A and B are shown apart, each in its own frame.
Chain A
Amino acid sequence: MAITRDAFVARTAHDRTHINRLAIPEYGVIEIRVRKSDAKGSKSYLPAEAIPPRAASGKGADDFHFAPGPQLNSGTWVTDAAKNDDVEIWYDLYNPFLAIEKATLELFRRFEKTPFWTRELKDEELSDGDHILKFGAKTKWDGKIGVHADFPTQFVTVQHSPYKLKLTVKGKGVCNSHVAWTYFHVLAGKIKIEYGPKDVLPASVAGKADHRKAYDALIAQGASPPAAGAKVKVFLESNIFKKGHSMFDNSLFTEYETLWDKGPLIPLFATVWVKDSGDTDVLAPKALGRVKFLWDWESKLAAQGLTFVDQAQDYDKSTTKPKGQNCHKKRGGKRGTGSDPVFPKQAGYAPAAALTPAAFPFEVEEIGKTRKWASYSYAWDDGKLASKTGAIFQPSRMGGDACQVSVYLAYDITKKGDVVLDVADDAPLKVQPALKDTTGTFEVWRDIHFVRYFKKTAAVANLTIATVQGIYQPAFVRLDDKSGGATAMAAGTWNADFTAALGALGATDQDLVDPAVNQHSAGPHGCDFRNLANWISAIAARTGATVPAVTAALSGAGIATAADHAAHCNNIGSTILQGLFDKHLHANEGANIFHVDGLHNHTAAAASVLRGYALDLPSGTDRKCGYLQLGKTTDYSGPPNDIREMTGAHEFGHHFFLPHTPAAGEKKDYKAHDKSVDDCLMSYNYTKPRKLCGFCQLRLRGWSKDALKPDGAKNKK
Chain B
Amino acid sequence: MTRSRAATMLAAMGAIGAVCLAQSGVPRRARQGDLPVEIRLNLDQQRFIAKESMVLHVHIRNTGQMPIDVPNPENNANTQPVYTLTGPSYPQGHSFHFRGAALGDPNPPREAEPGATVRLAPGQEHDAALPLEQLTAFPKAGAYTITASLTIHGRSAASPPVEFEIEPAVIRSMAILADDGVQSSSPVRVLCLIGTPPHQRLYQAIFREERPDLGEVSLAKLVYVAPAPPEAAAVFGPWTNHDRLDSLLNRFAWQAGSLVGIEGLAGTPGATFRFPEQSRLVRPALMPDSGEVDVLALVDGSRTVEMVRFPSPRDGSGVRAAWRTQLGAAAAGSRAALAPRTAGTRRAAVFILPEKTDSQILLAEAGPGDVQPVLRSVRIDGAAPLPDSEPGIAFAADGTVYASAILSERGQPRNAFVADIRWPPGSGDGAVTRENIKRLPGAPRSAAATFSVTRGARRREWIVLLQDGAVVFSGSPGRPRTTTGTPSLPLKLLAMSKMTYLLTLDKQGLPRFELMH
Residues of A within 8 A of B (CB): 242, 246-249, 506-509, 539, 543, 545, 549-550, 552-564, 567-568, 570-571, 575, 603-616, 631-638, 642, 646-647, 650-651, 654, 659-660, 663-668, 670, 684-687
User: Separation in Å of the B258 CB from the closest CB of chain A?
Assistant: 28
Which of A246, A570, A571, A686 contacts B104 (CB under 8 A)? Answer: A686
Taking a contact as CB atoms under 8 Å apart, the answer to whether B74 and A686 are in contact is no
Taking a contact as CB atoms under 8 Å apart, the answer to whether B225 and A556 are in contact is yes
B22: Cβ under 8 A from any A Cβ: no
User: Separation in Å of the B220 CB from the closest CB of chain A?
Assistant: 6
- Residues of B with C-beta under 8 A to A539: 248
Q: How far is the CA of A560 from the CA of B265 in the complex (A)?
A: 14
Q: How far is the CA of A506 from the CA of B243 in the complex (A)?
A: 7
| Chain B minimum-CB-distance residue to A605 | B74
Which of A557, A666, A687 contacts B106 (CB under 8 A)? Answer: A687
Taking a contact as CB atoms under 8 Å apart, the answer to whether B212 and A608 are in contact is no
Most buried by B among A539, A634, A638, A659: A634
Most buried by B among A608, A611, A613, A646: A608
Q: How far is the CA of A126 from the CA of B134 in the complex (A)?
A: 112
| Chain B minimum-CB-distance residue to A681 | B2
Binds A, one of B152-160, B203-211, B486-494: B203-211
Taking a contact as CB atoms under 8 Å apart, the answer to whether B517 and A613 are in contact is no
Residues 94-135 of B at the A interface (beta carbon under 8 Å)? 98, 101-113, 115-116, 128-131, 134-135
Q: List 8 A-B contacts (CB under 8 A).
A: A506-B246, A556-B250, A561-B131, A564-B131, A571-B184, A613-B2, A634-B77, A666-B217
- Residues of A with C-beta under 8 A to B246: 506-508
Taking a contact as CB atoms under 8 Å apart, the answer to whether B3 and A246 are in contact is no
- Residues of A with C-beta under 8 A to B185: 571, 575
- Residues of B with C-beta under 8 A to A615: 1, 212-213
- Residues of B with C-beta under 8 A to A605: 74-76
- Residues of A with C-beta under 8 A to B498: 616
Q: How far is the CA of A651 from the CA of B211 in the complex (A)?
A: 12
Taking a contact as CB atoms under 8 Å apart, the answer to whether B108 and A608 are in contact is no
Q: Do A556 and B265 form a contact, CB below 8 Å, given A545-B248, A635-B109, A687-B106? A: yes
Lowest 6 CB-CB distances: which A-B pairs, in order? Answer: A558-B206, A571-B186, A553-B248, A665-B216, A634-B109, A637-B107
- Residues of A with C-beta under 8 A to B111: 633-634
- Residues of A with C-beta under 8 A to B250: 553, 556-557
Q: How far is the CA of A137 from the CA of B483 in the complex (A)?
A: 94
Q: How far is the CA of A571 from the CA of B452 in the complex (A)?
A: 18
Taking a contact as CB atoms under 8 Å apart, the answer to whether A686 and B134 are in contact is no
| Chain A minimum-CB-distance residue to B479 | A249
Taking a contact as CB atoms under 8 Å apart, the answer to whether A550 and B248 are in contact is yes
Which of A634, A646, A665 contacts B3 (CB under 8 A)? Answer: A665
Taking a contact as CB atoms under 8 Å apart, the answer to whether A660 and B214 are in contact is yes
B340: Cβ under 8 A from any A Cβ: no
Count how many chain B residues have C-beta atoms less than 8 Å from C-beta atoms of the other chain: 72
Q: Do A633 and B110 form a contact, CB below 8 Å, given A558-B206, A563-B131, A575-B184? A: yes
Q: How far is the CA of A96 from the CA of B178 in the complex (A)?
A: 119
B505: Cβ under 8 A from any A Cβ: no
Taking a contact as CB atoms under 8 Å apart, the answer to whether B517 and A668 are in contact is yes
Taking a contact as CB atoms under 8 Å apart, the answer to whether B53 and A637 are in contact is no
Q: Do A670 and B517 form a contact, CB below 8 Å, given A508-B246, A558-B187? A: yes
- Residues of A with C-beta under 8 A to B103: 609, 635, 686
B444: Cβ under 8 A from any A Cβ: no
User: Separation in Å of the B160 CB from the closest CB of chain A?
Assistant: 22
User: Separation in Å of the B506 CB from the closest CB of chain A?
Assistant: 10
Mark interface residues in B337-375 (1 if CB within 8 Å of A CB, else 0): 000000000000000000000000000000000000000
- Residues of B with C-beta under 8 A to A664: 8
Residues of B within 8 A of A (CB): 1-8, 11-12, 53, 55, 74-77, 98, 101-113, 115-116, 128-131, 134-135, 182, 184-187, 189, 204, 206, 208, 210-217, 220-221, 223, 225, 242-246, 248, 250, 265, 475-476, 498, 515, 517
Taking a contact as CB atoms under 8 Å apart, the answer to whether B248 and A668 are in contact is no
Q: How far is the CA of A659 from the CA of B242 in the complex (A)?
A: 32
Which of A557, A562, A667 contacts B244 (CB under 8 A)? Answer: A557
Q: How far is the CA of A686 from the CA of B186 in the complex (A)?
A: 26
Which of B11, B77, B214 contacts A604 (CB under 8 A)? Answer: B77
Q: How far is the CA of A642 from the CA of B3 in the complex (A)?
A: 13
Taking a contact as CB atoms under 8 Å apart, the answer to whether A560 and B206 are in contact is no
Which of B2, B210, B214, B217 contacts A631 (CB under 8 A)? Answer: B2
Q: How far is the CA of A335 from the CA of B106 in the complex (A)?
A: 47
Q: How far is the CA of A530 from the CA of B3 in the complex (A)?
A: 23
Taking a contact as CB atoms under 8 Å apart, the answer to whether B131 and A637 are in contact is no
Taking a contact as CB atoms under 8 Å apart, the answer to whether A616 and B55 are in contact is no
Which of B186, B204, B216 contacts A568 (CB under 8 A)? Answer: B186
User: Separation in Å of the A603 CB from the closest CB of chain B?
Assistant: 8
Taking a contact as CB atoms under 8 Å apart, the answer to whether B214 and A608 are in contact is no
Taking a contact as CB atoms under 8 Å apart, the answer to whether B5 and A684 are in contact is yes
Taking a contact as CB atoms under 8 Å apart, the answer to whether B244 and A611 are in contact is no
User: Separation in Å of the B452 CB from the closest CB of chain A?
Assistant: 14
User: Separation in Å of the B265 CB from the closest CB of chain A?
Assistant: 5
- Residues of B with C-beta under 8 A to A563: 74, 129-131, 134
Which of A561, A611, A616 contacts B4 (CB under 8 A)? Answer: A611
User: Separation in Å of the B183 CB from the closest CB of chain A?
Assistant: 11
Q: Do A608 and B74 form a contact, CB below 8 Å, given A560-B53, A637-B105? A: no
User: Separation in Å of the A652 CB from the closest CB of chain B?
Assistant: 11
Taking a contact as CB atoms under 8 Å apart, the answer to whether A616 and B213 are in contact is yes
Q: Do A637 and B108 form a contact, CB below 8 Å, given A567-B208, A571-B208? A: yes
User: Separation in Å of the B1 CB from the closest CB of chain A?
Assistant: 5
Taking a contact as CB atoms under 8 Å apart, the answer to whether B102 and A558 are in contact is no
User: Separation in Å of the B288 CB from the closest CB of chain A?
Assistant: 15
Taking a contact as CB atoms under 8 Å apart, the answer to whether A686 and B105 are in contact is yes
| Chain A minimum-CB-distance residue to B130 | A563
Which of B2, B214, B248 contacts A647 (CB under 8 A)? Answer: B2
- Residues of B with C-beta under 8 A to A549: 248
Taking a contact as CB atoms under 8 Å apart, the answer to whether A558 and B53 are in contact is yes
Q: How far is the CA of A570 from the CA of B498 in the complex (A)?
A: 18
| Chain A minimum-CB-distance residue to B217 | A666
Taking a contact as CB atoms under 8 Å apart, the answer to whether A684 and B2 are in contact is yes
Q: Do A654 and B248 form a contact, CB below 8 Å, given A506-B182, A608-B6? A: no
Taking a contact as CB atoms under 8 Å apart, the answer to whether B265 and A686 are in contact is no
User: Separation in Å of the B266 CB from the closest CB of chain A?
Assistant: 9
Taking a contact as CB atoms under 8 Å apart, the answer to whether B2 and A246 are in contact is no
Instruction: Supply 4 further A-B pairs (C-beta < 8 A) apart from A246-B475, A563-B74, A637-B105.
Output: A557-B189, A608-B3, A614-B213, A665-B3
Q: How far is the CA of A397 from the CA of B411 in the complex (A)?
A: 49
| Chain A minimum-CB-distance residue to B245 | A508
Q: How far is the CA of A328 from the CA of B104 in the complex (A)?
A: 39
| Chain A minimum-CB-distance residue to B223 | A558
Q: How far is the CA of A511 from the CA of B2 in the complex (A)?
A: 28
| Chain A minimum-CB-distance residue to B56 | A561
Which of B1, B101, B206 contacts A665 (CB under 8 A)? Answer: B1
| Chain A minimum-CB-distance residue to B8 | A684
Q: How far is the CA of A636 from the CA of B498 in the complex (A)?
A: 29
User: Separation in Å of the B449 CB from the closest CB of chain A?
Assistant: 20
| Chain A minimum-CB-distance residue to B222 | A558
| Chain A minimum-CB-distance residue to B5 | A608
Q: How far is the CA of A543 from the CA of B314 in the complex (A)?
A: 15
- Residues of B with C-beta under 8 A to A687: 11-12, 106
User: Separation in Å of the B129 CB from the closest CB of chain A?
Assistant: 5
Taking a contact as CB atoms under 8 Å apart, the answer to whether B186 and A570 are in contact is yes
Taking a contact as CB atoms under 8 Å apart, the answer to whether A642 and B105 are in contact is yes
User: Separation in Å of the B69 CB from the closest CB of chain A?
Assistant: 16
Taking a contact as CB atoms under 8 Å apart, the answer to whether A665 and B129 are in contact is no
- Residues of A with C-beta under 8 A to B216: 660, 665-666
Q: How far is the CA of A543 from the CA of B246 in the complex (A)?
A: 9
| Chain B minimum-CB-distance residue to A242 | B213
Q: How far is the CA of A609 from the CA of B109 in the complex (A)?
A: 14
User: Separation in Å of the A602 CB from the closest CB of chain B?
Assistant: 10
Q: Do A558 and B220 form a contact, CB below 8 Å, given A506-B245, A614-B1, A686-B4? A: yes
Which of B112, B115, B134, B476 contacts A607 (CB under 8 A)? Answer: B134
